[in-house]
Structure 1
Amino acid sequence: MNSLATQWNTTTAGVAVVISSLGIGRLIVLLVSGALSDKFGRKPFVVLGACTYLIFFIGIILSKNITVAYVFGILAGIANSFLDSGTYPALMEMFPDSKGTANVVIKAFISAGQFILPLMVSFLIASNLWFGWSFVFCIAILILNGIFMVTSGTFPKISTTEENNFSVEAEEEKNDTVKANIWIDGTLFILYGYISQSTFYLVSQWLSEYGQKVAGMNTTSAHALISYYSIGSLACVFFTAALAKKAVKEISFLSVYTLISFLSLLVMYLVPNSIICTIMAFTVGFSAAGGVMQLGLTVMSDFFPQGKGTITGAFYTAGSIASFTIPLITGVMASNLANIILFDVFVALAGFVITVLITIRYHQLFQKAKKELLK
């Protein structure tokens, strides 16, 4: 941030403003790109997302002022929306029998990137190298990935892939008897998209501060809480994938994980000491940031199988709104960090209630569909 602030003749607060532009970019196109990916296919949006990200990475290191950087920041948000609209639906269509695992694996790579990038930045700083090499690294990966995507042939269409002997069309026909209610079920999932994002966003942003100022931990130990949180999220990815392979349905995870999140945050709030915070940091990372949001999207695709791109756009738009509004809410509460964690406790509790309602609706709809198929 300091290097970019110098390049743009601004302060780190100015850089933070540019960072916020990513959220605006996401909100501008996420719903539209999701619907368009249902119409034109997934591959064009994956390639378009990679190309738009390339423009961002190149543009951001060439920008000389905050205004130009802000425009490229919006492009980064748009690129992210394009990728979300293409990747999640494509993976669900490629692996219809392992949709949850496929989507959770995306979370594993996100976590890996979040782990590697700070190490890379630290290395550049320690070696007194140009900060832009981290951007160049991303540019190189995107170019290689883009070439692979362009030359890899077509993605599975919403019809058939002979190689896997599976038909997405046939898979969706099995769900044709499932008559989900857009107002009831759609609202529940949109609320869950907002709440699941809010739950882990809150704790990830304030965990270190809470450990230091409320639990009385030293600076090093407080910062280590984020590492335990990240380890927990990665552990959940592998745990969920292992159970999913044993035919445990995605719906089975939702209410369990949100309940664990609620209880972990409650214990952290009630007993704020270093040992409890360390254990609960891992537990919250496991239950709230280990792919439960991706599992929610997977379950939503079972309710609305005909428009995976559209529901991805709607679901992640709710998450983007959370990323924009939660900092505004917590900014008012920043004078008392304990209240922020208490607020997260209530957010997680609301998430648990919503997932219970989703689970009830799931069993009602699919049991009814099963009876109709047996007639």
Structure 2
Amino acid sequence: MKNKYMPAAISLYINYIIQGISAIILAQNMEFLTGQFHTDKAGVAYVISGLGIGKLLVLFISGVLSDRFGRKPFVLLGIAGYVVFFAGILFSPNVAVAFIFAVIAGIANSFLDSGTYPALMETFPNATGTANIIIKAFVALGQFSLPLMISFVVSNNLYFGYTFYVCIGALLINGIFVLRQKYPPMNVAKPAAAAGGEETVKANFWIEGLALILIGFTSTATFFIISVWLPTYGQEAAGMAANASRQLISYYSIGSLVAVFITAVLVKKWVKPATFILIYPLISLACLFLLWANPTPAIAVFSAFVIGFTAAGGVLQLALTTMAELFPSSKGKITGSVYTLCSLATFVCPVVTGRLAESNIKNVLVFNMANTAVGVILAVIVLIRYRKVFKTHNMQKAA
């Protein structure tokens, strides 16, 4: 709390409450938007895929430009893009127009990530893992709040767009606050790196580096598919009522929120991030199988919490932190590389799962299990290589 950049960090974290909402607001309002867009569930899923396309278009280059021009401009561009998205969706008459605004939201997401993650790593150079994973707490807070807001709106027969207006107002207020903050100098090194230690780590980009980038896809797909389809799965497979199935996302978000604080403490003091990127997907895989094999309301609630804890509780952020440990230079480029695959997942998954859901909603879980299994294999490779790289590194330092 003595860090002079703490106010700037808080404003960065607040943006992720709205980003958490943006990731699920289309799926949560699917029944309203199918009418407004004159389409079906697959059509809304197609609109959601625009988020991934937008991220994919600019993420890597925005990371490079963030290293060159600074973090704040990209944070502000991200805020502006989200304002356009929330307003634009409400006035979209069809899927094609809505898709354009979803692409803008994806671009906004990229700008926000490219400015925020490096800025937080530079604000807290001795606790980069904790700084990154706390982002998930604010994402989870947004995802926990939205179903409650929508339930209130539906119960009182109010216009569904009020939740969109709330997001616009919050973004504008926080944008003014962000504009007034000062950020730390770029590429602040950890003390060990300043002494020449961290920069001598010799990792292999084509093994552990590539595996971590691919984990950007698998880890994102695991929680993204659940966040989009869990309410529908609760209704169609578990026989839950509409409002009860929406609340599954709140349980999912609570799991994510709890995981963030537990994982942040463990990462700071006892457990390496590379260990968690194997353990958590393993648990997610087991829980996905349970939900697929026995879809009851009780199992759905339990699975929502556990998958929120293990899949949405920071695996992506921990993969990014591990990447930064192994390749400590150019934090913007690192962010761009991992999150390019993240954005690919948010494009591919809605398109594929939208088609699968039309035949049988349980096929969506089969696809997610296969994806998560690949993530487990990649994590095994990363953990083996991580231990080997740092064992060699420590031996060289001792010599």
TM range (shorter): 0.7 to 0.9
Consecutive unaligned residues in structure 1, runs of 5 or more: 161-165
Q: Which residue of 2 aligns with 1:301?
A: 324
Alignment match, 1:364: 388
CA–CA distance in structure 1, aligned partners of residues 243 and 170 of structure 2 = 33
Deviation at 1:188, TM superposition (A): 0.3
Secondary structure of residue in 2 paired with 1:183: helix
- Cα deviation for residue 224 of structure 1 reads 4.4
How far apart, CA to CA, are the structure 2 residues paired with 1:309 and 1:50?
18
| Distance apart, 1:43 and its partner CA | 2.0
Mapped partners of 2:95, 2:354: distance in 1 = 24
1:82 maps to 111
Equivalent pair of 1:41/1:157 in contact (CA under 8 Å) = yes
Residue aligning to 1:174: 197
CA distance in 2, matches of 1:129, 1:227: 21
CA contact (8 A) 1:93 1:168 kept: no
Partner amino acid, structure 2, of 1:27? L
Partner of 2:347: 324
CA contact (8 A) 2:248 2:301 kept: yes
Tell me the residue number matched to 2:375. Answer: 351
Which residue number in structure 1 is paired with residue 50 of structure 2? 21
Question: How far is the alpha carbon of 1:201 from its aligned partner?
Answer: 2.3
Give the deviation of 1:89 after TM superposition: 1.4
Instruction: Answer with 328-337 or 246-255: which moved more.
Output: 328-337
Change (3 A) 1:145 1:203: closer
Please tell me the residue identity of whatever aligns with 1:350. Answer: V
Q: Give the CA deviation at 1:141.
A: 2.3
Instruction: Kindly provide the CA deviation profile for residues 202-234 of structure 1, in whole angstroms up to 9, marking residues without a partner as x.
Output: 333333444454455566655544333222222
TM-score (normalizing by structure 1) = 0.85
Structure 2: which amino acid aligns with 1:96? P
TM-score, scaled relative to structure 2: 0.80
Percent identity over paired residues: 49
Separation in 2, partners of 1:120, 1:254: 32
Cα gap change, 1:99 to 1:225, in 2 (>3 Å): same
The amino acid that maps onto 2:38 is T
C-alpha displacement of 1:109: 0.8
**Shift, 1:131, TM fit:** 4.9
Superposed displacement of residue 50, structure 1? 1.9
> Quick check: 20-29 or 66-75, which moved more?
66-75
Structure-to-structure mapping, 1:179-258, within 5 angstroms:
179-215=202-238, 222-258=245-281
> 1:65-104, CA deviations, whole angstroms, 9 ceiling, x for partnerless residues?
7666544433222111100101111112211222222112
Task: Provide the residue aligned with 1:111 in structure 2.
Answer: 140
Find the structure with the greater CA-based Rg: 1
Match of 1:36 in 2: 65
Structure 1 residues 130 and 208 mapped into 2: Cα distance closer, same or farther (>3 Å)? closer
Deviation at 1:18, TM superposition (A): 4.5
Separation in structure 2 between the aligned mates of residue 130 and residue 337 of structure 1, nearest angstrom: 29
Give SS of 2:65's match: helix
Count residues in correspondence: 367
Give me the whole-angstrom Cα distance separating, in 1, the residues matched to 2:316 and 2:74.
21
Match of 2:21 in 1: none
1 CA distance for matches of 2:66 and 2:228? 32
Alpha-carbon offset, residue 241 of structure 1: 1.9
Q: Which moved more, 1:34-43 or 1:333-342?
A: 333-342
For residue 29 of structure 1, report the CA deviation from its aligned partner: 0.6
> Relative to 1, partners in 2 of residues 1:155 and 1:48: Cα closer, same or farther, differing over 3 Å?
farther
Deviates more, 1:19-28 or 1:61-70: 61-70
- Report the CA distance shift for 1:372/1:238 in structure 2 as closer, same or farther (over 3 A): same
Other-structure match for 1:163: none
Distance 1:275 1:74, change over 3 A: closer
How far is 1:294 from its partner? Answer: 1.2
- Cα distance between partner residues in 2 of 1:333 and 1:16: 11
In the TM superposition, what are the counterparts of 1:246-325 in structure 2 within 5 Å? Answer: 246-325=269-348
2:166 maps to: 137
Structure 1: how far apart are the matches of 2:299 and 2:91? 46
- Offset of 1:250 from its aligned partner? 1.5
Relative to structure 1, the CA distance from residue 49 to residue 168 in structure 2 (aligned partners, 3 Å threshold; closer, same or farther) is farther
User: For the aligned residues, what is the CA RMSD?
Assistant: 3.0
8 Å Cα contact 1:195-1:347 kept in structure 2 = yes
- Supply the AA of the counterpart residue of 1:286: F
By how many angstroms is 1:288 displaced? Answer: 1.0
- The Cα of 1:174 is off from its aligned counterpart by 2.5
User: Is the CA contact 2:59–2:114 (under 8 Å) kept in the aligned structure 1?
Assistant: yes
Q: Whole-Å Cα distance in 2 between the matches of residues 61 and 279 of structure 1?
A: 34
SS at match of 2:146: helix
d(CA) in 2 for partners of 1:281, 1:149: 34
* Aligned partner letter, 1:152: Q
Instruction: Label 1:229 to 1:65 Cα distance change in 2 as closer, same or farther (>3 A).
Output: closer
Instruction: Note the residue ranges of structure 2 that are not aligned, 5 or more in a row.
Output: 1-28
